[in-house]
Chain A
Amino acid sequence: MVGQDPSASPAIGALENANPLIYRRQGERPVTAREEDDELPDAIDDREIFDLIRSINDPEHPLTLEELNVVEQVRVKVNDAESTVSVEFTPTIPHCSMATLIGLSVKVKLIRSLPERFKVDVHITPGTHASEHAVNKQLADKERVAAALENNHLLEVVNQCLSGRP
Protein backbone atom coordinates (compact mmCIF):
# COMPACT_ATOMS: atom_id res chain seq x y z
CA MET A 1 0.00 0.00 0.00
CA VAL A 2 2.99 2.25 -0.50
CA GLY A 3 1.84 5.54 -1.93
CA GLN A 4 -1.77 4.48 -1.75
CA ASP A 5 -4.45 5.66 0.59
CA PRO A 6 -4.52 4.51 4.18
CA SER A 7 -8.01 3.22 3.51
CA ALA A 8 -6.65 0.56 1.16
CA SER A 9 -6.44 -2.91 2.65
CA PRO A 10 -3.07 -4.02 3.93
CA ALA A 11 -1.46 -6.89 2.10
CA ILE A 12 -2.35 -10.29 3.47
CA GLY A 13 -0.17 -13.36 3.05
CA ALA A 14 3.60 -13.59 2.92
CA LEU A 15 5.54 -11.53 5.43
CA GLU A 16 7.64 -8.81 3.83
CA ASN A 17 10.31 -8.84 6.46
CA ALA A 18 10.24 -12.42 7.78
CA ASN A 19 13.16 -12.13 10.22
CA PRO A 20 13.27 -8.65 11.67
CA LEU A 21 15.91 -7.59 14.18
CA ILE A 22 14.47 -7.49 17.66
CA TYR A 23 15.57 -4.79 20.13
CA ARG A 24 15.46 -4.74 23.90
CA ARG A 25 12.61 -2.91 25.54
CA GLN A 26 13.22 0.00 27.86
CA GLY A 27 12.54 -0.38 31.56
CA GLU A 28 9.69 1.29 33.36
CA ARG A 29 9.88 5.02 33.59
CA PRO A 30 11.14 6.15 37.00
CA VAL A 31 8.71 8.44 38.79
CA THR A 32 10.32 11.64 40.03
CA ALA A 33 9.68 13.29 43.38
CA ARG A 34 8.21 16.29 41.58
CA GLU A 35 5.65 14.11 39.84
CA GLU A 36 4.61 12.60 43.13
CA ASP A 37 3.79 16.07 44.41
CA ASP A 38 0.23 16.65 43.20
CA GLU A 39 0.55 20.37 43.91
CA LEU A 40 3.02 20.91 41.07
CA PRO A 41 1.98 21.02 37.42
CA ASP A 42 3.67 18.44 35.20
CA ALA A 43 4.34 19.20 31.57
CA ILE A 44 4.01 16.23 29.21
CA ASP A 45 7.52 15.07 28.28
CA ASP A 46 9.09 12.95 25.53
CA ARG A 47 9.16 9.83 27.70
CA GLU A 48 5.42 10.04 28.41
CA ILE A 49 4.70 10.29 24.68
CA PHE A 50 7.06 7.38 24.04
CA ASP A 51 5.25 5.30 26.67
CA LEU A 52 1.98 5.91 24.82
CA ILE A 53 3.31 4.51 21.52
CA ARG A 54 6.02 1.97 22.47
CA SER A 55 3.58 -0.90 23.01
CA ILE A 56 1.67 -0.44 19.72
CA ASN A 57 1.73 -3.79 17.91
CA ASP A 58 3.40 -4.23 14.54
CA PRO A 59 0.73 -5.12 11.94
CA GLU A 60 2.54 -8.31 10.84
CA HIS A 61 4.70 -9.50 13.75
CA PRO A 62 3.70 -10.33 17.32
CA LEU A 63 6.11 -7.64 18.44
CA THR A 64 5.80 -4.04 19.56
CA LEU A 65 7.03 -1.01 17.60
CA GLU A 66 9.65 -0.55 20.33
CA GLU A 67 10.95 -4.12 19.96
CA LEU A 68 11.32 -3.58 16.21
CA ASN A 69 13.01 -0.20 16.81
CA VAL A 70 10.30 1.44 14.69
CA VAL A 71 9.81 3.97 17.47
CA GLU A 72 12.54 5.30 19.78
CA GLN A 73 12.37 7.83 22.55
CA VAL A 74 15.03 10.01 20.88
CA ARG A 75 12.72 10.44 17.87
CA VAL A 76 9.89 11.86 19.97
CA LYS A 77 9.76 15.62 20.49
CA VAL A 78 7.09 17.25 22.60
CA ASN A 79 6.63 20.92 23.42
CA ASP A 80 3.88 21.11 26.01
CA ALA A 81 3.85 24.93 26.10
CA GLU A 82 3.28 25.10 22.34
CA SER A 83 1.01 22.01 22.32
CA THR A 84 3.03 20.23 19.64
CA VAL A 85 4.18 16.62 19.37
CA SER A 86 6.41 15.30 16.62
CA VAL A 87 7.20 11.61 16.20
CA GLU A 88 9.56 10.07 13.65
CA PHE A 89 9.20 6.36 13.02
CA THR A 90 11.58 4.06 11.19
CA PRO A 91 10.11 1.32 8.98
CA THR A 92 11.99 -2.00 9.37
CA ILE A 93 12.73 -2.13 5.64
CA PRO A 94 12.80 0.72 3.04
CA HIS A 95 9.96 -0.79 1.02
CA CYS A 96 7.70 -1.63 3.95
CA SER A 97 4.13 -1.57 2.65
CA MET A 98 2.83 -1.16 6.19
CA ALA A 99 4.46 2.25 6.69
CA THR A 100 1.25 4.26 6.28
CA LEU A 101 -0.67 1.92 8.57
CA ILE A 102 2.02 2.09 11.25
CA GLY A 103 2.14 5.89 11.06
CA LEU A 104 -1.65 6.05 11.18
CA SER A 105 -1.69 3.84 14.30
CA VAL A 106 0.84 6.11 16.04
CA LYS A 107 -1.16 9.17 15.06
CA VAL A 108 -4.49 7.72 16.20
CA LYS A 109 -3.01 6.58 19.52
CA LEU A 110 -1.68 10.07 20.26
CA ILE A 111 -4.85 11.87 19.11
CA ARG A 112 -6.94 9.62 21.36
CA SER A 113 -4.61 9.93 24.38
CA LEU A 114 -3.52 13.58 24.39
CA PRO A 115 -5.58 16.69 25.20
CA GLU A 116 -7.23 18.07 22.04
CA ARG A 117 -5.02 21.17 22.03
CA PHE A 118 -2.05 19.09 20.77
CA LYS A 119 -0.97 19.19 17.12
CA VAL A 120 0.34 15.71 16.34
CA ASP A 121 2.85 15.36 13.48
CA VAL A 122 3.99 11.86 12.50
CA HIS A 123 6.79 11.42 9.96
CA ILE A 124 9.08 8.73 8.64
CA THR A 125 12.69 9.05 9.88
CA PRO A 126 14.40 10.87 6.97
CA GLY A 127 16.09 8.52 4.52
CA THR A 128 14.55 5.28 5.80
CA HIS A 129 11.75 4.65 3.31
CA ALA A 130 11.46 4.68 -0.47
CA SER A 131 8.12 6.52 -0.41
CA GLU A 132 8.89 8.77 2.52
CA HIS A 133 7.40 11.93 0.99
CA ALA A 134 4.17 10.25 -0.13
CA VAL A 135 3.61 8.55 3.24
CA ASN A 136 4.38 11.75 5.18
CA LYS A 137 2.00 13.75 2.99
CA GLN A 138 -0.83 11.31 3.58
CA LEU A 139 -0.29 11.18 7.33
CA ALA A 140 -0.32 14.99 7.45
CA ASP A 141 -3.60 15.26 5.51
CA LYS A 142 -6.23 15.32 8.25
CA GLU A 143 -9.06 15.08 5.74
CA ARG A 144 -7.75 11.79 4.35
CA VAL A 145 -7.00 10.52 7.86
CA ALA A 146 -10.59 11.38 8.88
CA ALA A 147 -11.97 9.57 5.82
CA ALA A 148 -9.74 6.55 6.47
CA LEU A 149 -10.99 6.31 10.05
CA GLU A 150 -14.59 6.20 8.79
CA ASN A 151 -13.63 2.99 6.97
CA ASN A 152 -14.64 0.23 9.40
CA HIS A 153 -12.21 -2.36 8.07
CA LEU A 154 -9.24 -0.03 8.40
CA LEU A 155 -10.37 1.17 11.82
CA GLU A 156 -10.47 -2.45 12.98
CA VAL A 157 -6.89 -3.02 11.77
CA VAL A 158 -5.71 0.15 13.54
CA ASN A 159 -7.50 -0.83 16.74
CA GLN A 160 -5.83 -4.24 16.60
CA CYS A 161 -2.41 -2.55 16.43
CA LEU A 162 -3.41 -0.36 19.38
CA SER A 163 -4.79 -3.10 21.61
CA GLY A 164 -2.14 -4.13 24.13
CA ARG A 165 -0.93 -7.73 24.02
CA PRO A 166 -2.71 -10.07 26.45
Chain B
Amino acid sequence: MMKDSLTLLSRIPAHPDSRCWFLAWNPTGSLLASCGGDRSIRIWGKEGDTWVCKSVLGEGHQRTIRKVAWSPCGNYLASASFDATTCIWKKNHEDFECTATLEGHENEVKSVSWAPSGSLLATCSRDKTVWVWEVDEEDEYECMSVLNSHTQDVKHVVWHPNQELLASASYDDTVKLYREEEDDWVCFTTLEGHESTVWSLAFDHSGERLASCSDDKTVRIWRQYKPGNEQGVVCNGTDPTWKCICTLSGFHTRTIYDVAWCQLTGALATACGDDAIRVFEEELLSDPHQPTFTLTAHMARAHSQDVNCVAWNPKEPGLLASCSDDGEMAFWKYQRPEVC
Protein backbone atom coordinates (compact mmCIF):
# COMPACT_ATOMS: atom_id res chain seq x y z
CA MET B 1 0.00 0.00 0.00
CA MET B 2 2.94 2.36 0.76
CA LYS B 3 4.79 1.45 -2.41
CA ASP B 4 5.98 4.40 -4.49
CA SER B 5 4.10 6.98 -2.43
CA LEU B 6 7.36 8.96 -2.16
CA THR B 7 9.64 9.17 -5.21
CA LEU B 8 12.94 10.96 -5.61
CA LEU B 9 12.92 13.78 -8.18
CA SER B 10 16.47 15.04 -7.74
CA ARG B 11 19.37 15.23 -5.31
CA ILE B 12 21.78 18.16 -5.11
CA PRO B 13 25.00 18.71 -3.10
CA ALA B 14 23.68 21.93 -1.57
CA HIS B 15 26.41 22.55 1.04
CA PRO B 16 29.29 20.20 0.13
CA ASP B 17 31.68 19.11 2.92
CA SER B 18 29.31 20.55 5.48
CA ARG B 19 25.95 19.98 7.10
CA CYS B 20 22.82 21.24 5.43
CA TRP B 21 20.77 22.28 8.45
CA PHE B 22 17.55 23.77 7.15
CA LEU B 23 15.39 24.66 4.16
CA ALA B 24 12.63 27.25 3.63
CA TRP B 25 10.33 27.83 0.65
CA ASN B 26 9.37 31.38 -0.24
CA PRO B 27 5.58 32.05 -0.07
CA THR B 28 5.07 31.52 -3.82
CA GLY B 29 7.03 28.27 -3.76
CA SER B 30 9.35 29.48 -6.54
CA LEU B 31 12.51 29.75 -4.43
CA LEU B 32 14.04 27.51 -1.78
CA ALA B 33 16.62 28.83 0.70
CA SER B 34 19.13 26.40 2.24
CA CYS B 35 21.65 27.04 5.02
CA GLY B 36 24.42 25.11 6.67
CA GLY B 37 27.64 24.59 8.54
CA ASP B 38 29.60 26.33 5.77
CA ARG B 39 28.17 29.69 6.99
CA SER B 40 26.40 30.29 3.70
CA ILE B 41 22.83 30.57 2.49
CA ARG B 42 21.98 29.40 -1.02
CA ILE B 43 18.87 30.37 -2.95
CA TRP B 44 17.58 27.72 -5.36
CA GLY B 45 15.17 28.19 -8.28
CA LYS B 46 13.86 25.92 -10.99
CA GLU B 47 15.15 26.15 -14.55
CA GLY B 48 13.32 23.67 -16.73
CA ASP B 49 13.30 20.45 -14.72
CA THR B 50 16.36 21.19 -12.60
CA TRP B 51 16.93 23.18 -9.45
CA VAL B 52 19.83 25.60 -9.80
CA CYS B 53 21.61 27.88 -7.35
CA LYS B 54 20.46 31.45 -8.07
CA SER B 55 22.53 33.18 -5.42
CA VAL B 56 24.91 32.55 -2.54
CA LEU B 57 24.61 34.74 0.56
CA GLY B 58 28.05 34.37 2.04
CA GLU B 59 29.11 37.44 3.98
CA GLY B 60 26.53 37.70 6.76
CA HIS B 61 27.62 35.28 9.47
CA GLN B 62 30.82 34.16 11.23
CA ARG B 63 29.55 30.73 12.24
CA THR B 64 27.01 28.03 11.29
CA ILE B 65 23.68 29.26 9.93
CA ARG B 66 21.14 27.10 11.69
CA LYS B 67 17.81 28.19 10.19
CA VAL B 68 16.31 30.58 7.66
CA ALA B 69 12.79 32.04 7.28
CA TRP B 70 11.06 34.09 4.57
CA SER B 71 8.82 37.07 5.37
CA PRO B 72 5.16 36.56 4.35
CA CYS B 73 5.65 39.03 1.46
CA GLY B 74 8.62 37.02 0.20
CA ASN B 75 10.88 40.08 -0.03
CA TYR B 76 12.94 39.35 3.08
CA LEU B 77 14.86 36.38 4.39
CA ALA B 78 15.98 36.10 8.02
CA SER B 79 18.90 33.86 9.04
CA ALA B 80 19.65 32.58 12.57
CA SER B 81 23.30 31.82 13.32
CA PHE B 82 25.50 30.25 15.98
CA ASP B 83 27.36 33.61 15.90
CA ALA B 84 24.54 34.92 18.18
CA THR B 85 23.05 37.20 15.50
CA THR B 86 20.13 37.15 13.10
CA CYS B 87 20.59 38.77 9.69
CA ILE B 88 17.82 40.25 7.58
CA TRP B 89 18.36 39.98 3.83
CA LYS B 90 16.37 42.08 1.37
CA LYS B 91 15.61 40.64 -2.06
CA ASN B 92 16.54 42.87 -4.97
CA HIS B 93 15.69 41.07 -8.23
CA GLU B 94 17.93 37.99 -7.93
CA ASP B 95 20.35 39.51 -5.43
CA PHE B 96 20.09 39.68 -1.68
CA GLU B 97 21.53 42.38 0.51
CA CYS B 98 21.98 42.19 4.29
CA THR B 99 20.02 45.19 5.55
CA ALA B 100 20.02 44.55 9.31
CA THR B 101 21.83 42.45 11.92
CA LEU B 102 19.82 41.73 15.06
CA GLU B 103 22.02 41.42 18.12
CA GLY B 104 21.23 40.73 21.75
CA HIS B 105 21.18 36.98 22.31
CA GLU B 106 24.01 35.80 24.55
CA ASN B 107 24.90 32.81 22.40
CA GLU B 108 23.77 30.66 19.46
CA VAL B 109 20.52 31.71 17.77
CA LYS B 110 18.71 28.49 16.92
CA SER B 111 15.61 29.59 15.04
CA VAL B 112 13.77 32.55 13.52
CA SER B 113 10.18 33.01 12.35
CA TRP B 114 8.01 35.82 10.90
CA ALA B 115 4.48 36.52 12.10
CA PRO B 116 1.75 36.31 9.40
CA SER B 117 1.44 40.14 9.37
CA GLY B 118 5.14 40.48 8.55
CA SER B 119 5.53 43.15 11.23
CA LEU B 120 6.83 40.82 13.95
CA LEU B 121 9.79 38.46 14.06
CA ALA B 122 10.72 35.94 16.75
CA THR B 123 14.17 34.50 17.49
CA CYS B 124 15.30 31.94 20.09
CA SER B 125 18.64 30.91 21.48
CA ARG B 126 20.70 28.57 23.62
CA ASP B 127 20.56 31.44 26.14
CA LYS B 128 17.05 30.03 26.99
CA THR B 129 15.18 33.10 25.74
CA VAL B 130 12.71 33.91 22.99
CA TRP B 131 12.81 37.48 21.63
CA VAL B 132 9.94 39.19 19.83
CA TRP B 133 11.06 41.94 17.44
CA GLU B 134 8.92 44.63 15.86
CA VAL B 135 9.64 45.81 12.31
CA ASP B 136 8.72 49.38 11.41
CA GLU B 137 8.17 50.98 7.99
CA GLU B 138 11.82 52.06 7.76
CA ASP B 139 12.96 48.44 8.10
CA GLU B 140 14.17 49.13 11.64
CA TYR B 141 13.94 46.27 14.13
CA GLU B 142 13.24 46.81 17.79
CA CYS B 143 13.06 44.16 20.50
CA MET B 144 9.58 44.29 22.09
CA SER B 145 9.93 41.47 24.53
CA VAL B 146 12.41 38.98 25.98
CA LEU B 147 10.60 35.82 27.09
CA ASN B 148 12.32 33.78 29.80
CA SER B 149 9.83 30.97 30.35
CA HIS B 150 12.01 28.11 29.14
CA THR B 151 14.59 26.68 31.52
CA GLN B 152 16.92 25.40 28.76
CA ASP B 153 18.18 25.93 25.21
CA VAL B 154 15.27 26.95 22.91
CA LYS B 155 15.38 25.00 19.64
CA HIS B 156 12.56 26.32 17.49
CA VAL B 157 10.05 29.15 17.14
CA VAL B 158 7.06 29.27 14.80
CA TRP B 159 4.13 31.66 14.44
CA HIS B 160 0.51 30.59 14.04
CA PRO B 161 -0.52 30.71 10.33
CA ASN B 162 -3.05 33.53 10.77
CA GLN B 163 -2.94 34.87 14.33
CA GLU B 164 -0.33 36.66 16.39
CA LEU B 165 0.33 33.58 18.46
CA LEU B 166 3.85 32.24 18.90
CA ALA B 167 5.06 28.73 19.76
CA SER B 168 8.51 27.64 20.95
CA ALA B 169 10.15 24.23 21.54
CA SER B 170 13.01 23.53 23.94
CA TYR B 171 15.70 21.23 25.33
CA ASP B 172 13.62 21.48 28.55
CA ASP B 173 11.19 18.98 26.86
CA THR B 174 8.30 21.47 26.66
CA VAL B 175 6.46 23.57 24.11
CA LYS B 176 5.31 27.06 25.13
CA LEU B 177 2.71 29.36 23.57
CA TYR B 178 2.76 33.15 23.81
CA ARG B 179 0.36 36.00 23.03
CA GLU B 180 0.45 39.76 23.30
CA GLU B 181 -0.90 41.40 26.42
CA GLU B 182 -0.79 45.18 26.89
CA ASP B 183 2.24 45.87 24.68
CA ASP B 184 4.15 42.96 26.14
CA TRP B 185 4.26 39.26 25.36
CA VAL B 186 3.35 36.54 27.82
CA CYS B 187 3.59 32.78 27.92
CA PHE B 188 0.00 31.59 28.46
CA THR B 189 0.51 27.85 28.39
CA THR B 190 3.14 25.11 28.54
CA LEU B 191 2.60 21.83 26.69
CA GLU B 192 4.10 18.99 28.69
CA GLY B 193 4.37 15.38 27.62
CA HIS B 194 7.52 14.89 25.58
CA GLU B 195 10.20 12.98 27.48
CA SER B 196 13.20 14.66 25.86
CA THR B 197 14.21 17.68 23.73
CA VAL B 198 11.47 19.05 21.47
CA TRP B 199 13.22 19.85 18.18
CA SER B 200 10.56 21.32 15.95
CA LEU B 201 6.93 22.36 15.57
CA ALA B 202 4.39 22.74 12.77
CA PHE B 203 0.86 24.16 12.78
CA ASP B 204 -1.78 22.69 10.47
CA HIS B 205 -3.40 25.03 7.89
CA SER B 206 -6.16 26.14 10.27
CA GLY B 207 -3.82 26.76 13.19
CA GLU B 208 -6.19 24.72 15.39
CA ARG B 209 -3.58 21.99 15.77
CA LEU B 210 0.15 21.88 16.36
CA ALA B 211 2.54 18.97 15.75
CA SER B 212 5.75 18.64 17.81
CA CYS B 213 8.64 16.21 17.30
CA SER B 214 11.24 15.11 19.80
CA ASP B 215 14.39 13.30 20.80
CA ASP B 216 11.96 10.90 22.56
CA LYS B 217 11.22 9.49 19.03
CA THR B 218 7.56 10.56 19.09
CA VAL B 219 5.42 13.14 17.31
CA ARG B 220 2.60 14.66 19.33
CA ILE B 221 -0.49 16.38 17.95
CA TRP B 222 -1.94 19.12 20.16
CA ARG B 223 -5.38 20.66 19.65
CA GLN B 224 -6.75 23.98 20.76
CA TYR B 225 -9.88 24.01 22.97
CA LYS B 226 -11.45 27.43 23.52
CA PRO B 227 -13.35 28.35 26.70
CA GLY B 228 -16.84 26.86 26.63
CA ASN B 229 -15.84 24.03 24.26
CA GLU B 230 -18.37 21.21 23.83
CA GLN B 231 -15.83 18.58 24.81
CA GLY B 232 -15.62 19.97 28.33
CA VAL B 233 -11.87 20.63 28.25
CA VAL B 234 -11.18 22.99 31.14
CA CYS B 235 -9.74 26.41 30.24
CA ASN B 236 -7.92 28.91 32.40
CA GLY B 237 -9.70 32.27 32.04
CA THR B 238 -10.08 33.39 28.43
CA ASP B 239 -7.05 31.45 27.15
CA PRO B 240 -7.59 28.28 25.15
CA THR B 241 -6.23 24.97 26.43
CA TRP B 242 -3.95 22.96 24.14
CA LYS B 243 -4.36 19.25 24.71
CA CYS B 244 -2.39 16.33 23.28
CA ILE B 245 -4.89 14.39 21.17
CA CYS B 246 -2.53 11.92 19.46
CA THR B 247 1.00 10.52 19.96
CA LEU B 248 2.77 8.86 17.04
CA SER B 249 5.13 6.43 18.71
CA GLY B 250 6.97 3.34 17.51
CA PHE B 251 7.58 4.68 14.00
CA HIS B 252 10.97 6.38 14.42
CA THR B 253 14.18 4.69 15.59
CA ARG B 254 16.19 7.83 16.45
CA THR B 255 15.70 11.54 17.22
CA ILE B 256 13.09 13.31 15.06
CA TYR B 257 14.69 16.60 14.04
CA ASP B 258 11.88 18.20 12.06
CA VAL B 259 8.20 17.98 11.27
CA ALA B 260 6.31 19.66 8.40
CA TRP B 261 2.52 19.81 8.10
CA CYS B 262 1.43 20.48 4.51
CA GLN B 263 -0.96 23.44 4.42
CA LEU B 264 -2.43 22.20 1.11
CA THR B 265 -2.96 18.48 1.68
CA GLY B 266 -2.67 17.91 5.44
CA ALA B 267 0.15 15.36 5.00
CA LEU B 268 2.62 15.33 7.90
CA ALA B 269 6.30 14.65 7.07
CA THR B 270 9.13 13.92 9.53
CA ALA B 271 12.93 14.17 9.30
CA CYS B 272 14.70 11.57 11.41
CA GLY B 273 18.20 10.79 12.71
CA ASP B 274 17.80 7.28 11.27
CA ASP B 275 18.23 8.83 7.75
CA ALA B 276 14.57 8.23 6.84
CA ILE B 277 11.71 10.45 5.76
CA ARG B 278 8.22 9.39 6.79
CA VAL B 279 4.80 10.78 5.85
CA PHE B 280 1.64 10.35 7.92
CA GLU B 281 -1.97 11.11 7.06
CA GLU B 282 -5.00 11.43 9.24
CA GLU B 283 -7.54 8.68 8.71
CA LEU B 284 -10.58 10.10 6.96
CA LEU B 285 -13.24 9.00 9.41
CA SER B 286 -11.23 9.33 12.62
CA ASP B 287 -12.59 11.29 15.58
CA PRO B 288 -11.21 14.88 15.37
CA HIS B 289 -10.71 14.85 19.14
CA GLN B 290 -8.90 11.50 19.10
CA PRO B 291 -7.55 11.20 15.57
CA THR B 292 -5.67 8.26 14.10
CA PHE B 293 -2.72 8.89 11.78
CA THR B 294 -1.45 6.28 9.32
CA LEU B 295 2.08 5.95 8.00
CA THR B 296 1.66 6.47 4.24
CA ALA B 297 5.33 6.72 3.18
CA HIS B 298 8.59 5.47 4.67
CA MET B 299 11.70 6.26 2.68
CA ALA B 300 14.51 4.45 4.52
CA ARG B 301 17.95 5.89 3.66
CA ALA B 302 16.37 8.98 2.13
CA HIS B 303 19.81 10.51 2.80
CA SER B 304 23.15 8.93 3.70
CA GLN B 305 23.14 10.66 7.12
CA ASP B 306 20.63 12.28 9.54
CA VAL B 307 17.75 14.12 7.88
CA ASN B 308 17.61 17.61 9.42
CA CYS B 309 14.66 19.23 7.71
CA VAL B 310 11.56 18.52 5.64
CA ALA B 311 9.62 21.31 3.90
CA TRP B 312 6.45 21.09 1.78
CA ASN B 313 6.19 23.45 -1.17
CA PRO B 314 3.43 25.97 -0.30
CA LYS B 315 1.88 25.99 -3.80
CA GLU B 316 2.61 22.63 -5.42
CA PRO B 317 0.84 19.83 -3.54
CA GLY B 318 3.10 16.87 -2.76
CA LEU B 319 6.42 18.54 -3.58
CA LEU B 320 8.70 17.94 -0.59
CA ALA B 321 12.28 19.14 -0.03
CA SER B 322 14.63 17.60 2.53
CA CYS B 323 18.23 18.09 3.64
CA SER B 324 20.84 16.20 5.59
CA ASP B 325 24.08 16.12 7.55
CA ASP B 326 25.63 14.76 4.32
CA GLY B 327 25.30 18.31 2.87
CA GLU B 328 22.75 17.24 0.30
CA MET B 329 19.25 18.39 -0.40
CA ALA B 330 16.64 16.26 -2.16
CA PHE B 331 13.31 16.88 -3.86
CA TRP B 332 10.54 14.30 -3.57
CA LYS B 333 7.11 13.77 -5.08
CA TYR B 334 4.60 12.51 -2.56
CA GLN B 335 1.38 10.88 -3.67
CA ARG B 336 -1.19 9.69 -1.19
CA PRO B 337 -1.45 5.92 -1.71
CA GLU B 338 -4.75 4.51 -2.95
CA VAL B 339 -6.76 3.10 -0.09
CA CYS B 340 -6.95 -0.67 -0.53
Residues on A lying within 8 angstroms of B by beta carbon are: 5, 116-117, 119, 137, 140-144, 146-147, 150
| Given contacts A143-B110, A150-B64, A137 and B306 within 8 Å (CB-CB) | no
Please encode chain B, from 28 to 70, with 1 for each CB lying within 8 Å of some chain A CB and 0 for all others: 0000000001000000000000000000000000011010000
Q: Which residues of B contact A142 (CB under 8 A)?
A: 273, 306, 325
The CA-CA distance from A10 to B274 in the complex, in Å, is 32
Chain B positions 139 through 181: 1 when the CB is less than 8 Å from some CB of chain A, otherwise 0: 0000000000000010100000000000000010000000000
CB contacts (< 8 Å) of A116 on chain B: these are 304-305, 325-326
B79 CB contacts on chain A under 8 angstroms? none
Sorted nearest first, the 3 A-B pairs with minimum C-beta distance are: A147-B108, A147-B82, A150-B63
Within 8 A of A (CB), among B110-128: 110, 126
Residue pair B126, A5 in contact (C-beta under 8 Å): yes
Please give me the residue from chain A that is nearest to B255 by CB atom: A140
Given that A142-B306, A150-B63 are known contacts, is A137 also in contact with B126, CB under 8 Å in the complex? Answer: no
Q: Which residues of A contact B306 (CB under 8 A)?
A: 142
Contacts of A5 in B (CB 8 A): 126
Q: Tell whether, in the assembled complex, residue A137 and residue B305 are in contact, meaning their CB atoms are under 8 Å apart.
A: no
- Choose among A117, A137, A143, A144 the residue that contacts B196 (Cβ–Cβ < 8 A): A137
Most B CB atoms within 10 A — which of A140, A142, A143?
A: A143
Q: Give chain A nearest CB distance to B46 CB in angstroms.
A: 29
Bound-complex Cα distance A141 to B153 (A): 11
Q: Which of B208-255 contact A (CB under 8 A)?
A: 215, 254-255
B19 within 8 A of A: yes
Interface size for B (C-beta < 8 A) is 25
B71 within 8 A of A: no
A118 to chain B, nearest CB (A): 10
State the main secondary structure of chain B at its contact with A: loop
7 additional contacts, CB 8 Å, given A137-B171, A143-B155?
A: A117-B305, A140-B215, A141-B215, A142-B273, A146-B37, A147-B107, A150-B63
Residues of A within 8 A of B274 (CB): 119
Asked if B197 CB lies within 8 Å of chain A CBs, one says: yes
Residue of B nearest to A140 (CB): B215
Instruction: Say yes or no: B64 contacts A141, CB within 8 Å.
Output: no
- Whole-angstrom distance between the alpha carbons of A117 and B274 in the complex? 10
* CA gap between A140 and B197 in the complex, in Å: 10
List, sorted by A's number, 28 A–B pairs whose CB atoms are closer than 8 Å. A5-B126, A116-B304, A116-B305, A116-B325, A116-B326, A117-B304, A117-B305, A119-B254, A119-B273, A119-B274, A137-B196, A137-B215, A140-B215, A140-B255, A141-B171, A141-B215, A142-B273, A142-B306, A142-B325, A143-B155, A144-B126, A146-B19, A146-B64, A147-B82, A147-B126, A150-B63, A150-B64, A150-B82
| A143 interface neighbour in B66, B304, B305, B326, Cβ under 8 Å | B66
Residues of B within 8 A of A119 (CB): 254, 273-274
**A147 to B215, Cβ gap below 8 A?**
no
Q: A143-B110, A146-B64, A147-B108 are in contact. Are A137 and B197 (CB under 8 A)?
A: yes
* Distance in Å: Cβ of A77 to nearest Cβ of chain B: 16
Shortest C-beta distance, A14 to chain B (Å), equals 28
In the assembly, what is the distance between CA of A116 and CA of B264, in Å? 36
A116 to B18 CA separation, bound complex (whole angstroms): 12
Chain A nearest Cβ from B275, distance in angstroms: 9
Checking A117, A140, A144, A150 against B153 with a beta-carbon cut-off of 8 angstroms, the contacting residue is A144
